[in-house]
Chain A
Amino acid sequence: MRGEVAIVGCGRTPYSRAKPGEPVLNVDEYIAWAAELALQQAGMSKNDFDGQGLGVSHAEVAHTVNWSAATAENLGISPQVLIRGDQGGASASSMLIRAAAMIHSGIVDRVLVVGADTPLNIPSVAPGLPLSPERTRGVYWDFQGPFGVMGATAQFAQVLTRYMHEHDLTHEQLGKIAVTNRFHASLHPGAIYRTPFTLEDYLSSRILSDPIRLLDCVPIVNGGLAYIVTSAKTARTLTDKPVYLRGFGESNNYYHGSRSLPDITTTGFSQAAPKAMAMAGVSHKDIQFLQPYDDYPFISMMTIEDYGFCKKGHGGRFVEEHDLRFDGDFPLSTDGGQLSGGQPGGANGGFMPLVEAVTQLRGEAGARQVKNAEIGASCGFGGIPYGRPGRSCISLIFGTEP
């Protein structure tokens, strides 16, 4: 399926931290806004998707049943095929794979994929972060909340503690990722936090849940994103800058070792990335940038390892030895990542690496443009299983040529 589909347009709305006085948009409004931006970039209209495909990512904010069909109703689109993203931060990537398969099989020619959330509008008993009703029901919650698990930061902190026990990794190495993300955010007008900080600032930021500190943690925002994928043939009639999906790999509910007592320091990217690269026909040296699912620096570091850019356990050293800036030898999270850009809900931050990969390969990344970008990788990473790091790991390889 290499190069059979291409992305022809993307949209990313401005984000909001829902400060007093800011307009409060709902999830439908953000979806429409993001879709409008993607349609404008592609030179298409909503009517082009009647009889075609619509993909809708999960939203944590209250929404009705039959969410993807309800979204079609709100947008006034009558699609033949609905795709519902239900893989958290891997949803944007998984819907691209589903859409590609639909296009490959000839069922549809094009799919509009949207995702938005307004987590800051969710009433919550929890201090600081929204705790939506859907997070506090079911066996998964009943065996964590009452036990004192404090959300993703505490869950990921356990993975990081274990990693640091097994491998060499310094806070300075993780800090370099955070500092570089913020530097990239300073070059991205849409990022929510744009003032650069230093390694010293990072190291002196307060610990929230050892060994994770404040500047390791993703800020939550309201916002929406969208993209349009078509057959390669249609893409070439729409744009002179189609961004081809060259390869994909997906791994769900990966266990490294036994299911009862797995090693939690290796993610499903160890399966997904080799598949994506084999399909794309590329090796590590061909990949000119990596857009990981960058909500915590150590997740980016583990992704680098599990993609095979270095040996397991050498991720910290790799980060130290490479220039992660857009003009360096290993450009990473060139949009500033979710870490400085903001995460529009647990399910929709996953659009950001994909949208940035496309933006880079269209040559439209402005002050943060990777020079002569032709091949790049992005990631989806969704959900936190009990006691482990990531439920869904998806690797995507994009290129300017099929």
Chain B
Amino acid sequence: MSDIANKPLPVITDLTRPFWTAAKNRKLVLQKCQRCEVFNFHPKPWCIECGSRELTWTDAKPTGTVYSFTISRTVAMNFPGWEKDLPVLLCLIDLDDGARMYAQVTDCSPEDIRIGMRVTVHFEDISDEAGIPKFRPT
């Protein structure tokens, strides 16, 4: 538990709770605009494409493509609990539903990570209330 405690935990609000709860239950959900059908991420107060406040948490496809990546070799501007995970393979994932997400890619060596790599979501618990999505090569 001490390692988990040394990583930041989100402050869960009514806006964001469905995301964290779903991840705890091994599901990826995103806000989908009921007017223009665009998936928004990270959570927004209204759709950033059309301005509709009718955003509904919706099951998202569990797959995506690596848009970009970095291999963090030191902990900077984050909590020391990440130290034991270095190097951290942090990516921008273009989800198949059309939203982009920062997420760790696991089960992949730093030498093998590539833009365009197909990845599939998996989840890790970070607290009693929240899970977090990570990805691994498909």
Interface status of B58 (Cβ within 8 A of chain A): no
Stretch of A62-70, A83-91, A130-138, A302-310 lying at the B interface: A130-138
Interface status of A226 (Cβ within 8 A of chain B): no
Interface status of A372 (Cβ within 8 A of chain B): no
A157 to B77, CA, bound (A): 14
B75-102 contacts to A, CB under 8 A, are: 75-80, 82-83, 85, 88, 90-92, 94, 98-100, 102
Residues of B close to A157: CB separation below 8 A: 70, 72
Report whether B92 and A158 are in contact in the complex, using a CB–CB cutoff of 8 Å.
yes
**Residues of A within 8 A of B (CB-CB), count:** 45
**Residues of B within 8 A of A (CB-CB), count:** 48
B35-81 contacts to A, CB under 8 A, are: 38-43, 48-49, 67-80
Stretch of A7-15, A258-266, A373-381, A392-400 lying at the B interface: A258-266
Mark each residue of chain A from 136 to 179: 1 if its CB lies under 8 Å from any CB of chain B, else 0: 11011111111111111110011101100100000000000000
Report whether A150 and B38 are in contact in the complex, using a CB–CB cutoff of 8 Å.
no
Q: In the complex, how many residue pairs between chain A and chain B have their CB atoms under 8 Å apart?
A: 146
Given the known inter-chain contacts A146-B126, A148-B88, A387-B92, please indicate yes or no for A139 contacting B16, CB distance below 8 A.
Answer: yes
Interface status of B132 (Cβ within 8 A of chain A): yes
A387 to B40, CA, bound (A): 13
A141 to B88, CA, bound (A): 18
Report whether B48 and A151 are in contact in the complex, using a CB–CB cutoff of 8 Å.
no
Distance to closest chain A CB from B132 (angstroms)? 6
Report whether B132 and A147 are in contact in the complex, using a CB–CB cutoff of 8 Å.
yes
- Please tell me which one of the listed residues A143, A151, A210 contacts residue B71 in the complex, with CB atoms under 8 A apart: A210
Given the known inter-chain contacts A143-B43, A261-B100, A387-B102, please indicate yes or no for A150 contacting B68, CB distance below 8 A.
Answer: no
Residues of A close to B98: CB separation below 8 A: 260-261
Distance to closest chain B CB from A174 (angstroms)? 15
Q: Which residue of B lies closest to A128 (CB)?
A: B76
Report whether B70 and A154 are in contact in the complex, using a CB–CB cutoff of 8 Å.
yes
A151 to B77, CA, bound (A): 5
Distance to closest chain A CB from B119 (angstroms)? 14
Residues of A close to B48: CB separation below 8 A: 259-260
Residues of B close to A151: CB separation below 8 A: 76-78
- Please tell me which one of the listed residues A139, A158, A259 contacts residue B15 in the complex, with CB atoms under 8 A apart: A139
Interface status of B1 (Cβ within 8 A of chain A): no
Listed A/B pairs (13) with beta-carbon separation below 8 Å: A125-B80, A145-B10, A148-B82, A148-B88, A149-B90, A158-B90, A161-B69, A259-B48, A260-B39, A261-B67, A261-B99, A387-B92, A387-B102
Q: Point out residues on A near B: beta carbons under 8 Å.
A: 125-129, 131, 135-137, 139-154, 157-159, 161-162, 165, 206-212, 258-261, 264, 386-387
Known: A137-B11, A145-B78. 20 other contacts (CB 8 A): A125-B80, A126-B77, A127-B74, A127-B80, A128-B74, A143-B41, A147-B103, A149-B102, A152-B77, A153-B76, A153-B77, A157-B72, A207-B73, A208-B72, A208-B76, A209-B71, A209-B76, A258-B49, A259-B48, A387-B92
